[in-house]
């Protein structure tokens, strides 16, 4: 399976590759990035929980934050989100949306009081389920390409295969079936590519013209990653808080990409086809494990300082991948329909995400307000694929070459007005391609309100807007070293509404 993937689309905390060939740069970003969701309070404050603590989401950022608990707590959150995708292709804009209900967080924190006067004051234990990514979206890019077809990219690949031009060596169908079973061979079987002979020898051509084509690139995605977290923490002197956790991460992602070409002028007398399409289906699922540890220090009433380390997450993943090619060609004004299903590829492999280092500060402005911030550092280029049956040397070298170090920054604030809490937050997740790059970066804006009843019950409401934009190309066709296939600009917006119920026990 090919691994030289193009840069990916980040959608909501997620990406989509221009082609769904697996185990490449886009998959590394998908698997490595985590934009924890959590409770309504946490999300309303940009998830800047590293030094603040006192919220179950803290155990995903800095488990030492659980040390602030003095009472047990049960938490349940649910939400409604709507994803919008605006795609611009050759000057044509297409808007698509997708809505779904989610459970961003649920969990329980238990506390044990050890002493009021000894160094160890409290210990806490917790278990929680937190969503780390949401892969649900619908993207659709459409435009009139005057310059090229995906068939040009296919033919350019064939031109570099010497074995296909000597009939005494290989039958083209057999060679393509063995070496290109997912793209070139289906095109051969559906007569989108054929071999011809003239005085100069053998050559390959396609009934699909070079340019003046309506192209459509549609992606439907669903799935999520979520983490079961088991944590322990301790409170010393009401000033020093220590914590550690183990996370079991479950990832499930399904994508269907359909690429279609139709003639720019279907009524032209020399038109040779009505439509052809190439559909890819990819399913990935698996489990991973990671460990986290952290510290929070409270040196003054107005300040808390936090630091945390996240280990690599080691995933064991299973994948299936297949393609379907269909062609509606014209011969003597009659339509010939052809369809070819590729074999289904079954792969299993391991993936290691990067280490993450987090520094946090929380400032308390009297008893009414606070400001908190987290700064994360990670190097996407240190991600790695492993397998006992496949070599990932080329893919891992591509990760080293293309992916770089970056920072994620989260900022939040909270103000108390009697039983009410007013909250706001911002977050910026840096581009996996390095500092100063925008491709793949994620921006978040959040607002929220909380209400505390008189019976230790809390209601938290949050709204979060996530935005990202990127350029990608559905295929590569080079003329004089320049890819003239055309870029697609895609902007993703996700609106998410969260409500959380907290009950002190």
Q: Specify whether the CB–CB gap between 400 and 392 falls below 8 A.
A: no
Give CA separation, 102 vs 68, 81, 136, 352, in Å. 28, 8, 10, 27
Quote the pLDDT of residue 224.
92
Q: Residue 23: its pLDDT value, please?
A: 65
Q: In this predicted structure, what is the pLDDT of residue 117? A: 84
CATH class of 9-149+208-504: mainly beta
Task: Please state, in angstroms and rounded to a whole number, the distance separating the CA atoms of residues 314 and 374.
Answer: 24
- Please give the model's pTM, rounded to 2 decimal places: 0.87
**Extended beta strands in 146-272, E state:** 194-198, 201-205, 213-236, 240-263
**Do 286 and 251 contact (CB within 8 A), yes or no?**
yes
pLDDT at 1: 33
Taking 50 as the pLDDT cut, the residues of the chain under it are 1-22
Give the pLDDT confidence score for residue 169 in this predicted structure. 78
Q: Where are the domains of the chain?
A: 9-149+208-504
């Amino acid at each position: 399976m090919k691994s030289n993937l193009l840069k990916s689309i980040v959608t909501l905390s997620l990406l989509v590759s221009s082609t769904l060939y697996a185990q490449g740069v886009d998959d590394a970003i998908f698997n490595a990035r985590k934009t924890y969701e959590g409770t309504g309070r946490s999300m309303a404050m940009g998830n800047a929980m590293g030094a603040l603590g006192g919220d179950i989401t803290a155990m995903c950022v800095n488990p030492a934050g659980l040390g602030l608990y003095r009472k047990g707590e049960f938490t349940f959150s649910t939400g409604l989100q709507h994803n919008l995708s605006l795609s611009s292709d050759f000057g044509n804009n297409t808007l698509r949306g997708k809505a779904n209900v989610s459970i961003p967080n649920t969990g329980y924190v238990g506390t044990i009081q050890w002493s009021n006067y000894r160094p160890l004051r409290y210990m806490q234990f917790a278990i929680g389920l937190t969503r780390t990514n949401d892969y649900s979206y619908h993207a659709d890019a459409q435009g009139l390409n005057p310059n090229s077809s995906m068939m040009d990219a296919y033919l350019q690949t064939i031109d570099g295969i010497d074995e296909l031009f000597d009939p005494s060596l290989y039958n083209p169908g057999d060679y393509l079936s063995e070496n290109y079973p997912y793209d070139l061979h289906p095109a051969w079987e559906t007569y989108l590519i054929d071999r011809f002979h003239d005085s100069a020898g053998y050559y390959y051509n396609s009934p699909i013209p070079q340019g003046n084509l309506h192209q459509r690139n549609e992606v439907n995605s669903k799935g999520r990653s979520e983490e079961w977290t088991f944590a322990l923490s301790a409170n010393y002197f009401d000033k020093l808080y220590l914590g550690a956790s183990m996370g079991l991460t479950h990832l499930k992602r399904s994508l269907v990409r359909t690429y279609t070409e139709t003639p720019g002028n279907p009524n032209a007398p020399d038109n040779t086809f009505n439509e052809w399409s190439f559909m890819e289906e990819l399913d990935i699922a698996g489990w991973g494990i990671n460990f986290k540890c952290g510290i929070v220090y409270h040196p003054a009433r107005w300040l808390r300082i936090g630091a945390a380390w996240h280990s690599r997450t080691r995933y064991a993943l299973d994948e299936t991948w297949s393609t379907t090619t269909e062609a509606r060609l014209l011969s003597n004004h009659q339509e010939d329909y052809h369809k070819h299903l590729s074999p289904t590829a079954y792969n299993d492999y391991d993936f290691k995400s990067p280490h993450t280092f987090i520094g946090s500060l929380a400032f308390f402005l009297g008893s009414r307000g606070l400001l908190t911030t987290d700064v994360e550092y990670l190097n996407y280029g240190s991600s790695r694929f492993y397998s006992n049956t496949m070599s990932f040397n080329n893919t891992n070298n591509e990760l080293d070459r293309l992916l770089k170090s970056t920072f994620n920054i989260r900022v939040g604030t909270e103000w108390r007005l009697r039983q009410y809490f007013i909250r706001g937050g911002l977050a910026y997740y840096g581009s996996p391609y390095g500092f100063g790059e925008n491709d793949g970066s994620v921006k978040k804006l959040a607002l929220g309100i909380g209400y505390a009843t008189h019976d230790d019950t809390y209601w938290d409401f949050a709204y979060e807007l996530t935005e990202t934009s990127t350029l990608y190309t559905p295929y590569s066709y080079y003329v004089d070293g320049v890819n003239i296939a055309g870029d697609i600009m895609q902007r993703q917006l996700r609106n998410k509404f969260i409500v959380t119920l907290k009950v002190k026990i």
